């Protein structure tokens, strides 16, 4: 199994957090396992866009974006070229460093 170092950077100004993760998890799962607050109103099943993040580094270490995910990313607030839904970012076999920017979630109300 691979080992990744994932750095979460927060647009709301919170202190960045770096955690270790193993292949087979999603970015959302890694965040939740490490007590990193990341909205996920649909429960992580690619049915909303509240877990939207920006992948600044390490996109090649993640499962490719699907058409369904791309449709929801387009509905996210302020989508960018490296936007992904964290629930769909499966860590591929291998290792490396990934940097994730978490948009300011203060306007999203988790259910």
Residue 1 confidence (pLDDT) above 80:
no
Domains of the chain: 3-102 (3.10.20.30)
Residue 93 confidence (pLDDT) above 60:
yes
Mean pLDDT value across residues 59-88? 96
* Separation CA 46–CA 98 (nearest Å): 21
Whole-structure pTM value: 0.92
Mean pLDDT value across residues 11-22? 96
Q: What is the pLDDT of residue 46?
A: 96
Q: What is the pLDDT of residue 111?
A: 44
Q: What is the pLDDT of residue 106?
A: 79
| Residue 4, CB-side half-sphere exposure with 13 Å CA sphere | 27
77 φ, ψ to 5°?
A: -75, 125
* Separation CA 13–CA 21 (nearest Å): 23
Categorise residue 20: left if φ over 0, alpha if ψ from -120 to 50, beta otherwise. beta
């Amino acid at each position: 199994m691979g080992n990744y170092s994932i750095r979460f950077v927060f647009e709301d100004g919170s202190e960045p957090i770096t955690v270790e993760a193993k292949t087979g998890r999603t970015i959302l799962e890694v965040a939740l396992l490490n007590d990193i607050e990341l909205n996920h109103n649909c429960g992580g099943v690619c049915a909303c866009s509240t877990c939207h993040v920006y992948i600044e580094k390490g996109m090649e270490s993640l499962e490719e974006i699907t058409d369904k995910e791309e449709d929801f990313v387009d509905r996210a607030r302020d989508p960018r070229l490296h936007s992904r839904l964290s629930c769909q970012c499966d860590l591929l076999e291998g290792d490396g460093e990934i940097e994730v920017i978490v948009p300011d979630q203060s306007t999203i109300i988790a259910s």
